[in-house]
Chains A and B, each alone.
Chain A
Amino acid sequence: MNVQDLYAISPLIVLVTWATLLILVDVYIIRDRNGGTPILAALGLLVAMGFAIAQTGQQYTAFNGMAVVDGFAIFLQVLFLGSGLVGIALAYNYLQRMGIERSEYYILLLYSISGMMLMAIAADLIVVFLALELLSIPLYVLAGFGRPKVEPEEAALKYFLLGAFAGGFVVYGIALAFGATATTSLAGIVQAVNAGSANLTLLSIGAALILIGLGFKVAAVPFHMWTPDVYQGAPSAVTAFMSVGAKAGGFAALLRVFVSALPELAADLSPVLWVLAALTMILGNVVAIAQGNIKRLLAYSSIAHAGYILMALVVFGNTQVSSDAVAAALFYLVAYAVTSFGAWAVVIALEKAEQKGLALDDYAGLGRKYPGLAAAMAVFMLSFTGVPPTLGFVGKLYLFRTVLEGGFIWLAVIGVLTSLVSAYYYLRIVVIMYMRDGDPQVHAEPWLRLTAGVTAVATVVLSLYAGPLFAWASQAVLKLF
């Protein structure tokens, strides 16, 4: 271990140390419940972000090839830290309003983000597994944060059991990959495959098991069953963070492992991914139509969007397209993060205690009574659908383009058709907000308004300057070897 190794994980060191000290500060110095813990947590995220951004443009491996700093890692680390900041902003008043204000929320959030950041720099399957568990375990607790009530506890237990189940698949998959190549390092796997010393059958089975495990994490069909219940039962601020952070963490692992270590297996695995992506898009969008609860609707919507991002992974074996595909996936993750956080901010503004205020009918009359909030929600729904000029449209454009370049025309067709289906339920919310009369009860605290406003503006404005953002994402492709 040398100084450069420590420099490589400096954002991580800062964040973990900060979170650990924050536990003590919270207990011994701040003491009262509505004290400065959220502000200190946000400050920690900003400091870690500074350390992450300071590494821009560098590429090197650390800890004997177990960690790698490259554009991909830095891009994702900034995304994770940013989503942590939004997670704090969404929770600040919400936890008070729901009577579950405990400062552990912010500390667990920081730990979960540290797992995601570790995932971004992982270059060894051991680190991938550790990062996966480090990001998941705090989220299991956060999902049950509304206790002692039955819904959050159910959500937490379901999330935990299925998350641990998925972890078992990842472990066994890694064990088989280790058996096939005698190494767990991603670079080592590539070397073994190129040298012909790897047992490709065993490696394929291992990769498939890893895919199943990570498929649970990103909520790909048919591993999505937990998503609606967990998203509905968990406190909305946690759900918002989960829908962005945990998903992006899972995709970070999928992209890193499959694109950089396993391109030789594309002949076997691409068709599997094709089917997964198609099923995820179709089922997510079709089942969302039948939902009357906004949290379940957004859960199915998040499943559907996982399907769109999976499209980028289908072309992972085609080395000419795969770097474009990674960039498109990263861009779509940003687009989805911005839109999703905005939509959840509106949901949180309308939510009341005891799971009230979450039916679609509760949005009736929002357009007349709270025009700003309704306009923001309309923007998010259009972005989810993929209507220009929004980030969602540009993201889908890049994704469909890479899929077509990779030669998967039918997959792109399915993507476009399911987007059309999704217009039905997204626009139904807009119709309910503007065309129906009602008396919505809204608690739009300053932080919620700020989040909804900033993300709404960003959804539109960033789509007009999508070129530079995509160029940044393009530089962020995997430069592992």
Chain B
Amino acid sequence: MLPVGYYIALSAILFTLGALGVLIRRNSIVIFMSIELMLNAGNLAFVAFARAYQSLSGQIFVFFIMAVAAAEVAVGLALIVAIFQTKRSIDVDQLNTMQG
């Protein structure tokens, strides 16, 4: 079995990729996918640690995160569809109606 450090390193890489994706990409859906990547990096870290500690609570947490992520998808995609209907674009750089 691989040592837990490898899994954590992978999850850290995934988390960083997700965070960079949110900051760099301009398409709302891609940003949202990057956020999901961050959540799943958290899931991977949880599962790896839970395995290392032989602890169930870490694995249970993953279920909660997946359920919450599903709820976020429901709301997030609805919002993206709504803004596409109004603006015909989901580019976050064009979300600039309000300025001060």
Contact = CB atoms under 8 A, between A and B. Distances in A.
19 contacts: A126-B61, A137-B72, A147-B86, A148-B86, A150-B83, A150-B86, A154-B95, A157-B95, A161-B32, A161-B76, A167-B39, A168-B15, A168-B18, A172-B38, A175-B45, A179-B45, A182-B49, A183-B57, A296-B100
A171 B98 contact: no
A292 B100 contact: yes
B75 to A, nearest CB: 5
Contacts of A290: 100
B8 A148 contact: no
Contacts of B82: 144, 147-148, 153, 156
B76 A160 contact: yes
Interface residues of chain A: helix, strand, loop or mixed (majority): helix
B87 A150 contact: yes
Interface in A251-295: 290-293
B72 A161 contact: no
A232 B99 CA distance: 9
Given A129-B64, A171-B39, A178-B58, A160 B97 contact: no
A157 B83 contact: yes
Contacts of A291: 100
- Most chain B CB within 10 A, of A130, A137, A141, A179, is at A179
Interface in A135-163: 137, 140-141, 144, 147-151, 153-158, 160-161
Interface residues of chain B: helix, strand, loop or mixed (majority): helix
B100 A232 contact: yes
Interface residues of B, number: 45
A141 B75 contact: yes
Interface string A203-228: 00000000000000000000000001
B45 A153 contact: no
B68 interface: yes
A171 B65 contact: yes
Contact of B55 (A126, A130, A182): A182
A164 B33 CA distance: 11
Contacts of B71: 133, 137
User: Lowest 7 A-B CB distances belong to which pairs?
Assistant: A168-B38, A171-B42, A175-B45, A179-B49, A296-B100, A172-B42, A182-B53
Given A137-B71, A171-B42, A184-B61, 4 more contacts: A164-B32, A168-B18, A174-B42, A292-B100
A174 B39 CA distance: 11
Interface of A: 126, 129-130, 133, 137, 140-141, 144, 147-151, 153-158, 160-161, 164-165, 167-169, 171-172, 174-176, 178-179, 182-184, 228-229, 232-233, 290-293, 296
Nearest to A228: B100
A89 B70 CA distance: 33
Nearest to A154: B95
B75 A140 contact: yes
Nearest to A163: B72
B45 A293 contact: no
Contacts of A168: 15, 18-19, 35, 38-39, 42
A151 B87 CA distance: 11
A137 B75 contact: yes
- Most chain B CB within 10 A, of A133, A137, A153, is at A153
Nearest to B80: A157
A290 B100 CA distance: 8
Interface of B: 8, 11, 15, 18-19, 22, 28, 31-32, 35, 38-39, 41-43, 45-46, 48-50, 53, 55, 57-58, 60-61, 64-65, 68, 71-72, 75-76, 79-80, 82-83, 85-87, 92, 95, 97-98, 100
Contact of A175 (B49, B68, B72): B49
Contact of B68 (A130, A165, A184, A229): A130
B52 to A, nearest CB: 8
A164 B87 contact: no
Contacts of A296: 100
Contacts of B97: 150-151, 154, 233
Nearest to A293: B100
B79 A229 contact: no
B40 to A, nearest CB: 9
Nearest to B18: A168
A124 B87 CA distance: 42
B34 to A, nearest CB: 9
Given A148-B85, A154-B83, A232-B98, A165 B72 contact: no
Nearest to A233: B98
Contact of B42 (A161, A165, A175): A175
B98 A161 contact: no
B38 A161 contact: no
B72 A133 contact: yes
A184 B57 contact: yes
B95 A172 contact: no
A288 to B, nearest CB: 10
A435 B79 CA distance: 43
A160 B79 contact: yes
A165 B41 CA distance: 13
B79 A153 contact: yes
B79 A140 contact: yes
A129 B43 CA distance: 13
A107 B19 CA distance: 33
